[in-house]
């Protein structure tokens, strides 16, 4: 090739070569010169074509490699890829699409068949915009897709569509679907958590690991009186009542850091300064490595609950009309008196009391007056006996007294006489003067009995003896059962 180029150049340049002969030789020379010149141009063009051919070959190889890489990316993508015609018939799909159905089931179906009815408008909108070139490759629309014959929940995807051209015309659409089902579930859970956080009846605090308040809910404000802006940024210690000592809080924080939680009852202080009991439950929020990020504290104001418990306990042990101990509490205290008596030898006297003429008052003036008489009688009995004694109402117009350490006929007579004197004072109700009395029956521990049944029986029997004697008096079982003075 180089020799040919050299010869052509020589012939094309008359200054470098001359041929002997006449006109015919000159014409031949000119013709050869033109051939050489054309040959030189052809050689140059051939060289250019060879270079261009190599560039095309390299480009084709690069395109093939890029196509293989793209295919690999699509096949390995977690996103769902569909190639459809312009009306949505599925031509190809990647392995990720198997979350909807098998490739055989998908191929040839229209993509719209997999879209739930509520999202068909979105489907048609995104397809039409892609064909009309009214959207960019970053535009995303949400679709809900059905999958599996037994599935009740959809797959939620964010869709982008790219139009593919051939010979200047759109002949296919490339659908890229990003599965956002999990994100939507997280958003839903977050919304639910927010609703629970805001709507919870319990106060909620979120703090960092050092106890600085990061967030509070409305119930926190209702219970403590502090607005969010007053609490956030503060350490939880600003709520402390001072009732719990330093040792309590040392153990409290130890449990939080080592166990990750604590629950129990403590006292805190409201913004008004009022102390209140709360039931507190604290849990640690951890990251994936188990490190504590924050604490979530939920607490309830249990002051009403404690008041209710106290009220229930009171109702269980006290008579609601007279506020005296009822039969249940009387039985407990009698049992305790017997235990103390057997342990220490402490004697006591049991006095059974029945009001005189009470039925007549109820029948004459009505039960509301009878209730007032019972209330006043209870107060008078309570005031007449010693502070260490127990006065209880067993029901109706029956009262009973447990008098620890009271023993001996004369001492018992003195206590009974004082109580009877208090009862017989006139009662003035709504301008009406009413007068009652009381029959007292007494039994002593241990000489009259060493158990509750025996003592109650003897006290009750002595009370009936007092009532049989005309009332407004007392009878001591030892005297009531003693033989007559002239007995032999």
Q: What is the CATH number of the domain that holds 236?
A: 3.30.450.20
φ/ψ (deg, to 5) at 119: -115, 15
Tell how far CA 300 is from the center of its chain: 12
Task: Give yes or no: residues 12 and 84 share one domain.
Answer: no
Note down the domain range covering 272: 203-306
pLDDT digits (tens, 9 = 90+) for 125-174: 999 988 887 666 567 889 999 887 666 688 899 999 988 888 888 889 99
pTM (two decimals) = 0.49
pLDDT digits (tens, 9 = 90+) for 167-203: 888 889 999 998 888 777 766 666 776 777 787 888 9
CATH number at residue 333: 3.30.70.270
**Tokens of residue 284, six digits:** 């640690």
Pairing outcome for strands 275-286 and 169-179: unpaired
Task: Give yes or no: residues 457 and 325 share one domain.
Answer: yes
Report helix, strand or coil for 270. coil
How far, in Å, CA of 112 to CA of 114, rounded?
A: 5
Count of structural domains within the chain: 4
Task: Give yes or no: residues 159 and 216 share one domain.
Answer: no
Cβ count within 10 A of residue 124 = 13
Quick check: 224 and 230 in contact, CB under 8 A? Answer: no
The pLDDT of residue 376 is above 90: yes
Residue with tokens 């220490």: 344
- By annotation, the residues acting in catalysis are 397
How far, in Å, CA of 85 to CA of 161, rounded?
A: 12
Task: Give yes or no: residues 357 and 405 share one domain.
Answer: yes
The pLDDT of residue 374 is above 60: yes
Task: Give yes or no: residues 298 and 334 share one domain.
Answer: no
346 belongs to a structural domain: yes
Task: Give yes or no: residues 470 and 414 share one domain.
Answer: yes
φ/ψ (deg, to 5) at 234: -85, 155
The pLDDT of residue 9 is above 60: no
Tell how far CA 369 is from the center of its chain: 53
Q: How confident is the model at residue 19 (pLDDT cuts 50, 70, 90)?
A: very low
Lowest mean pLDDT among 129-133, 259-263, 281-285, 395-399: 129-133
Task: Give yes or no: residues 373 and 402 share one domain.
Answer: yes
φ/ψ (deg, to 5) at 126: -70, -35
Question: What rounded mean pLDDT belongs to the chain?
Answer: 85
How far, in Å, CA of 334 to CA of 402, rounded?
A: 7
Task: Give yes or no: residues 420 and 324 share one domain.
Answer: yes
Task: Give yes or no: residues 476 and 329 share one domain.
Answer: yes
Q: What is the mean pLDDT of residues 384-406?
A: 94
What is the b/e burial string over 318-343, where b = at least 16 CB atoms within 10 angstroms of the residue's CB?
A: bbeebebbbeebbeebbeebbeebee
Quick check: 444 and 416 in contact, CB under 8 A? Answer: no
pLDDT at residue 82, rounded to an integer: 92
């Amino acid at each position: 090739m180089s020799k040919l180029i050299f010869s052509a150049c020589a012939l094309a340049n008359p200054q470098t070569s001359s041929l002997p002969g006449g006109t015919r030789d000159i014409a031949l020379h000119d013709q050869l010169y033109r051939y050489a010149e054309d040959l030189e141009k052809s050689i140059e063009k051939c060289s250019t074509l060879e270079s261009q051919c190599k560039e095309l070959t390299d480009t084709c190889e690069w395109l093939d490699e890029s196509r293989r890489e793209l295919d690999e990316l699509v096949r390995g993508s977690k996103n769902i890829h569909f190639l459809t015609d312009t009306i949505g018939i599925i031509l190809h799909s990647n392995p990720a699409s198997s979350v909807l159905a098998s490739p055989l089931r998908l191929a040839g179906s229209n993509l719209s068949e997999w879209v739930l009815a509520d999202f068909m408008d979105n489907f048609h909108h995104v397809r039409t915009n892609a064909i009309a070139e009214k959207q960019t490759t970053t535009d995303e629309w949400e679709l809900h897709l059905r999958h599996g014959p037994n599935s009740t929940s959809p797959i939620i995807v964010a869709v982008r569509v790219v139009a593919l051209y051939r010979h200047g015309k759109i002949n296919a659409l490339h659908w890229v679907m990003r599965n956002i089902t999990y994100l939507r579930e997280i958003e839903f859970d977050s919304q639910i958590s927010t609703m629970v956080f805001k709507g919870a009846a319990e106060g909620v605090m979120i703090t960092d690991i050092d106890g600085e308040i990061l967030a509070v809910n409305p119930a926190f404000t209702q219970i403590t009186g502090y607005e969010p802006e007053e609490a956030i940024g503060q350490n939880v210690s600003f709520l402390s009542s001072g009732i719990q000592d330093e040792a309590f809080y040392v153990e409290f924080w130890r449990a939080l850091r080592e166990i990750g939680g604590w629950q129990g009852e403590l006292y805190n202080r409201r913004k008004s300064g009022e102390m209140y009991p709360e039931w507190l439950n604290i849990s640690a929020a951890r990251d994936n490595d188990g490190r504590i990020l924050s604490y979530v504290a939920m607490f309830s104001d249990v002051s009403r609950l404690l008041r209710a418990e106290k009220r229930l306990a009171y109702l269980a042990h006290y008579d609601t009309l007279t506020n005296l101990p009822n039969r249940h509490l009387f039985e407990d205290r009698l049992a305790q008196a017997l235990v103390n008596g057997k342990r220490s030898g402490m004697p006591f006297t049991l006095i059974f009391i029945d009001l005189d003429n009470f039925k007549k008052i109820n029948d004459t003036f009505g039960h509301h007056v009878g209730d007032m008489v019972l209330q006043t009688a209870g107060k008078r009995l309570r005031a007449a006996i010693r502070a260490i004694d127990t006065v209880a109402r067993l029901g109706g117009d029956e009262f009973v007294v447990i008098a620890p350490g009271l023993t001996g006929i004369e001492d018992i007579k003195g206590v009974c006489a004082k109580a009877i004197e208090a009862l017989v004072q006139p009662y003035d109700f709504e301008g009406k003067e009413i007068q009652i009395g009381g029959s007292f029956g007494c039994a002593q521990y241990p000489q009259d009995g060493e158990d509750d049944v025996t003592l109650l029986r003897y006290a009750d029997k002595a009370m009936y003896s007092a009532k049989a004697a005309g009332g407004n008096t007392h009878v001591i079982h030892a005297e009531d059962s003693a033989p007559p003075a002239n007995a032999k």
